[in-house]
Structure 1
């Protein structure tokens, strides 16, 4: 089981142990995750890490203020995302009310964001009305955004090696994996084996007519079934959703940090407790 003095919650047949840190800064190592994981983990445990701290530690930040929106980016923001998806397709397909609300109040800066998506990932991903290509707007300073981690499977293997125990390390993104006719797919550019990735807008659209399976495992240190990976990823996501400091969207920033969406500093991000990872242990 677990020492009662160690912070944890029970989720069904699993114990969830949060790893709490400050803000992991650009190009900073991941020791604030690895060291407590090494101390707390036992053989057979899972370490589930959110994708953004990995990306930020890799320095995968893009300053969107450096991008000038093209006509295509402006159209995709104002007409396609805000109006067609915010008022017609979104309600018709039953997407989340929070997403619809956010689409209807897209800020001016979204045009530059769409240009970033167009240039780095192409139209297939830019057509997605929100959360394009897994780019995270909510946990980066200023006008920066973080891209998905580079080679998350290798990162998972490297972290496992540093922990030095027989554990499973998984990196996940909250963007959805869907299932239709027994096949798993995601709009994200990358996912573990068994989940068809890089479907962009087409995966998102098809996903609205399919079963939402929850968070997407991007990389894993072990060969693991998709079903097991999704189960563990969603236990981790359940814990994150319970936190008052969760910044799931850019609109959460003002509520959590008390600052404007574009006025976020590293100091402000470092002023709250972050939970970039959780340890998940099966109860015998």
Structure 2
């Protein structure tokens, strides 16, 4: 598709970039990614970027965990109630001036969060469980029932495989909305994984240090090309800017009911499939 034909398809302009959404139904566990790849093949030109959210990749890989199968330990209960809800919701959070939305969400953490903390403890350890929210990049908002999705496995390989299927000289990137921070010219994130050049797997300690550093926006997890961190962050944030425009964005568990009309632990695959999803965007320089 030639650039002058973009006017005939849905897109927005962000600075000197065209952003073209790829809209799909809900990508289910063990589905292929053809609903993303096929339109990308048709629309993309050499030099374009395809930026994909991490959750549809994870779900397609079957990386779902049912938190109802986990019995919270005393440590998980302490981390949920005393540590996250009260100390971070009322003391540390306000003192460090974290997002007001995050503080409100911490103050109303449901009891089910105890099982979530247990999952984090068992799969990622205390370093990540100490983080008051968004621990280890686990997504609670785009999975059915009491399931959550972990970060994708080997996102760099996935990005390279998708580029190979598209068959053009494009760049494929998989991102997470959890932040990358910068201090003294060094990039870091609390997430377990990130592209080369971003120090990853810092968990709680990266989160705290991040509150005293510059928030650089979404984190690129894997990329089909070697790319400098500054460019990768710029492209990731253009994609995230588009997601923020969507009425169906489910950034937190508390936005699920507003979008789907279902309680978080009652969401079905049919509910998730009832709305239009935008798991990826194509970004093209003008």
* TM-score in terms of structure 1 length: 0.99
Alignment of 1:1-284 (within 5 A): 1-3=3-5, 4-283=7-286
**SS at the partner of 1:115?**
helix
Gaps of 5+ in 2: none
Count residues with an aligned counterpart.
Answer: 283
Gaps of 5+ in 1: none
CA distance, structure 2, for counterparts of residue 95 and residue 48 of structure 1: 27
Per-residue CA distance 1:192-213 (angstroms, 9 max, x = gap) = 0000000000000000000000
**SS at the partner of 1:190?**
coil
CA distance, structure 1, for counterparts of residue 211 and residue 145 of structure 2: 32
CA distance, structure 1, for counterparts of residue 153 and residue 271 of structure 2: 26
Large movers: runs of 4+ above 6 Å: none
Per-residue CA distance 1:220-252 (angstroms, 9 max, x = gap) = 000000000000000000000000000000111
CA distance, structure 2, for counterparts of residue 242 and residue 98 of structure 1: 17
**SS at the partner of 2:82?**
helix
Larger deviation, residues 60-69 vs 2-11: 2-11
**SS at the partner of 1:139?**
coil
How far is 1:43 from its partner?
0.1
CA RMSD after TM alignment? 0.4
